[in-house]
Amino acid sequence: MRPTQHLTTYAPKMAWTLSARQRLSVLIYHQVLKEPDPMRPGEITTPQFDWQMGLLARHANVLPLPEALHRVQDGTLPPRAACVTFDDGYQDNYLNALPVLKQWGIPATFFIATGFVGTGIMFNDSIIEAIRRCPKCTLDLGDANLGAHHLDNWKARHTAASSLIQQVKHAPPKTRAQQVDMIVRYSGVSLHTESRLMMDATQIRELQAAGMTIGAHTRTHPILSQLQADMAHEEIKGSRADLEGILQTPIEVFAYPNGKPNHDYARRDCELVQAAGFKYAVSTSPGAASSRMDPFQVPRFTPWDRTDARFLMRLAVNARRAGTLAS
């Protein structure tokens, strides 16, 4: 490390050490792309991920999620403890992220939406790919009450896709599926030839064989708070059963789809997760886990920063937050 780099990272690292005693930072990722994608500008690329994992390997104590949460509870967590997690089950996690994780010796947890394993495509990806390929300059979805969207350039297409995803995300599953089908149909494209986006069962097994933890993320990625209790129970318990069938081992950890407390999931859903046999569940509420945590509402955050000092300082700031709980 160059002297200037050492001086730049010393203060943030010390701040993290002082603010994070017996507190666990859990990082969220979704995709790791080979190169930047104008339709997914928020997703990290392989070189960026490699840089972040290298930083964690040098400055953090990265633990498997179940072990880390157990050590939070029994008071044996090391300083600057962190976990790395991925949501949804994208194939690029296996192709691009796994080699980096293995290179740096970092364990990670992969939360899989089991209804898409192998050949499926999630609703948000259907929208993104439809807008990406749409040959029109304007997509009028007024008949579906979804507005008209300009598609003149990549920025406009990304804005359109993001708007449509937000409009349909919280609809009941049946309604959401109908809306997505209409978006794809009106775009004038076919997604049947879409290259596979999600991991298959063999790749999930290979993740586990490489020392990674596999967790459940429902079957079809619904917003649990929008479901009746019996449907939510089936999504939660069914995803655990699917993964245990693939891996022949108990699945202990769960991630709430979208994950915002009191919005995407409620206290009822925490109870359903516990009843389904999980030991821990994670949300997307920023903050760090401590001995006072609810084991079924572990906070997580996304590290957006792109310099060593800012990345470490973000961890320090996040470590002071407790996270929001569903009531």
Query: Is 221 part of any domain?
Result: yes
CB 299 within 8 A of CB 285: yes
Note whether residue 160 is domain-resident. yes
Would 211 be classed as within a structural domain?
yes
Same domain, 85 and 217: yes
Q: Is residue 195 domain-resident?
A: no
pLDDT given for residue 18 in this prediction = 45
**Contact call for residues 312 and 9 (beta carbons, < 8 A):** yes
Cβ-based neighbours of 52, under 8 Å, separated by 6 or more:
44, 303, 311
Q: Could you give the number of structural domains in the chain?
A: 2
Positions of the chain with pLDDT under 70: 1-21, 193-195
Q: Based on the domain organization, do 294 and 220 belong to the same domain?
A: yes
* Pairing of β 148-150 and β 138-140: antiparallel
Give domain status of residue 194, yes or no. Answer: no
Statement to judge: residues 76 and 111 lie in one domain: yes
User: Sign of torsion, CA 52 56 57 59?
Assistant: positive
Tokens of 144: 């579906």
Do the strands 61-62 and 81-88 form a parallel or antiparallel pair, or are they unpaired?
parallel
Query: Based on the domain organization, do 104 and 226 belong to the same domain?
Result: yes
258 Rama sector, left if φ>0, alpha if ψ -120 to 50, beta otherwise: left
Residue 130 lies in domain: 123-187
Q: Which segments of 30-110 does DSSP mark as H helices, in order?
A: 46-59, 65-74, 91-92, 98-104
With contact defined as beta carbons under 8 Å apart, do 225 and 266 qualify?
yes
In a domain, 192, yes or no: no
Residues 276 and 164 in one domain: no
Gap between the Cα atoms of 202 and 91, Å rounded: 11
Residue 80 lies in a domain: yes
Q: What's the pLDDT at 11? A: 47
CA dihedral sign of residues 279, 204, 228, 265: positive
Q: Are 208 and 110 within one domain? A: yes
Q: Which of 237, 230, 232 is nearest to 265 (CA)?
A: 232
Identify the pLDDT of residue 193. 57
On whether both 308 and 277 belong to a single domain, the answer is yes
Amino acid letter, residue 287? G
One domain for residues 93 and 226 = yes
Question: Which of 187, 212, 229 marks a domain boundary?
Answer: 187
d(CA 205, CA 144): 41
Locus of tokens 């089936």? 234
Q: Which residues contact 284 (CB under 8 A, 6 or more apart)?
A: 28, 256, 258, 259, 260, 264, 300, 301
User: What 3-state DSSP class applies to 295?
Assistant: coil
- State how beta strands 108-112 and 81-88 pair: parallel
Are 258 and 109 within one domain?
A: yes
- Asked if 69 and 217 sit in the same domain, the reply is yes
Closest CA to 109 of 69, 162, 73, 141: 69
Q: Which of 140, 156, 187 is the last residue of a domain?
A: 187
DSSP string across 157-195: HHHHHHHHHHHHHTS-HHHHHHHHHHHHHHHT---TTPP
The pLDDT tens digits of the residues spanning 205-239 come to 999 999 999 999 999 999 999 999 999 999 999 99
* CB-based contact 112:239 (threshold 8 Å): yes
Per the domain annotation, does 268 fall within a domain?
yes
Q: CATH code at 276?
A: 3.20.20.370
Q: Which two tokens stand for residue 246?
A: 């693939």
Do 183 and 211 lie in one domain? The reply is: no
Give the model's pLDDT for residue 43: 94
187, 211, 227 - which closes a domain? 187
Residue 278: closest CA among 246, 240, 229: 240
Q: Which of 306, 268, 303 is nearest to 288 (CA)?
A: 303
Note whether 217 and 312 are same-domain residues: yes
Per the listing, tokens 């097994």 go with 205
